[in-house]
Amino acid sequence: MTSETIVAIAVPLEPELVDSIRAVDPSVTVLYDPELLPPERFPADHSGDPGFRRTPEQENRYWSMLNRAQVLYGFPNEDPAGLARIARENPRLQWVHAMAAGAGGAVKASGLDQATLGKFHVTTSAGVHALPLAEFAALGILNGFKRSAELAQDQAAKVWPELRTPTRLVSGSTLVVTGLGEIGLETASIARALGMKVTGTKRTVEPIEGIEQVTDNDGLAGLLASADAVVNTLPGTPYTEKLFNREAFGAMKPGTVFVNVGRGTVVDEDALLEALDNGQVSYACLDVFAVEPLPQDSRLWDHPKVMVSPHTSALSSAENRLIAERFCSNLRTFLAGGDLPHLVDTLHFY
């Protein structure tokens, strides 16, 4: 470790949060030039205004700044191609902190080989988004149990049904969470507060306090048989692709509520539509999709039992602050020579 650690801010960030990074340690020099960064259109708009363009001189200054740093806050231009370029051009690079919780896909999309990826670390903002995602998952569960889609349709049509239809109690029901990481455990915590029993999956099977049963994905079908609701938080990897297929939906009880706040590739969307049509799934709350933006011809847009969210459920007005606080904590660990948390696995890309 050199006596000076240079951190370059590669994405839009408020000046006061830049100052908080500067305050971590006297040995830290922070390179930050807001003129070179696209303006945010909304809180935590890490890509910034897509209409923003640097002049050739500004472009040179941007990359010159990044190439001086050992540490980057954000992917250059918030883009896999930017990560690939900085990895090729900056021999000093030791660590890049990604804004996303699931940055593995972007690292994979950079096309960098294992030898190059082995020269520096990439950490994610996993955990920062756990609470808003868990709250959204709870919204999905409650929507399904309390028939919010049907209520909205009746209200739009100004229909007051002659026969009253009962709703389902969340308390006493069973939730299956696929992926008992930080998001999954936060979801489980809220679910237990609502009175739900929680089971779930984890790559490393081990007892978890408050979780009644833990299995790996091989045991998922057994859990689904007793589920009243299912929340997926899994990342998109070759091992999770279309985990929720026809067989998985068929293993569920009729009327199961399904929520996806993980990655869209974990779900076979054709199989989900079949399950919605035949009643195996009574309601689906989806924040992520196999192809994003969701294609206009997707049946999910118009399905009466589906809520479509445009991959925004993790966003909150506090996100930039929370990511900066996470980065500052990681930076202290980095300066002390410790092991950085939330490293991207460059073999499985999660």
Tell whether domain 5-128+316-335 is in CATH 3.40.50.720.
yes
Mean pLDDT of 119-131: 93
Span 239-272, pLDDT tens digits: 999 999 999 999 999 999 999 999 999 999 999 9
Is the pLDDT confidence value at 337 over 80? yes
Is the pLDDT confidence value at 2 over 80? no
Span 26-45, pLDDT tens digits: 999 999 999 999 999 998 99
Domain with CATH 3.40.50.720 in the chain: 5-128+316-335, 130-308
pLDDT at residue 285, rounded to an integer: 98
Q: 172 is written with which tokens?
A: 């006493």
Known active-site residue 263 = yes
pLDDT at residue 1, rounded to an integer: 45
pLDDT at residue 292, rounded to an integer: 97
Q: Which of 85, 311, 321, 348 is catalytic?
A: 311
Mean pLDDT of 162-190: 96
Least confident segment among 7-16, 86-95, 98-107, 165-174: 98-107
Which 3-state string (H, E, C) describes the chain?
A: CCCCEEEEECCCCCHHHHHHHHCCCCCEEEECCHHHCCCCCCCCCCCCCCCCCCCHHHHHHHHHHHHCCCEEECCHHHCHHHHHHHHHHCCCCCEEECCCCCCHHHHHHCCCCHHHHCCCEEECCCCCCHHHHHHHHHHHHHHHHCCHHHHHHHHHHCCCCCCCCCCCCCCCCEEEEECCCHHHHHHHHHHHHCCCEEEEECCCCCCCCCCCEEECHHHHHHHHCCCCEEEECCCCCCCCCCCECHHHHHCCCCCEEEEECCCHHHECHHHHHHHHHCCCEEEEEECCCCCCCCCCCCHHHCCCCEEECCCCCCCCCCHHHHHHHHHHHHHHHHHCCCCCCCECCCCCCC
Span 148-163, pLDDT tens digits: 999 999 999 999 999 9
Q: To the nearest whole percent, how much of the chain has pLDDT over 90? A: 93
Q: Tell me the angle at which helices 15-22 and 319-335 cross, rounded to the nearest 10 degrees.
A: 20
Average pLDDT, the chain: 96
Mean pLDDT of 6-18: 98
Known active-site residue 311 = yes
Q: Which of 46, 121, 263, 303 is catalytic?
A: 263
Tell whether domain 130-308 is in CATH 3.40.50.720.
yes
Paired with 51 in beta bridges are: none
Q: Which of 89, 212, 247, 292 is catalytic?
A: 292
Known active-site residue 292 = yes
Q: Where does residue 116 fall: left (phi above 0), alpha (psi -120 to 50 degrees), or beta otherwise?
A: alpha
Is the pLDDT confidence value at 126 over 90? no
Is the pLDDT confidence value at 315 over 90? no
pTM > 0.85: no
Q: CA-CA distance, 212 to 228, in Å (whole number)?
A: 15
Span 64-73, pLDDT tens digits: 999 999 999 9
pLDDT at residue 8, rounded to an integer: 98
Mean pLDDT of 202-224: 97
pLDDT at residue 350, rounded to an integer: 78
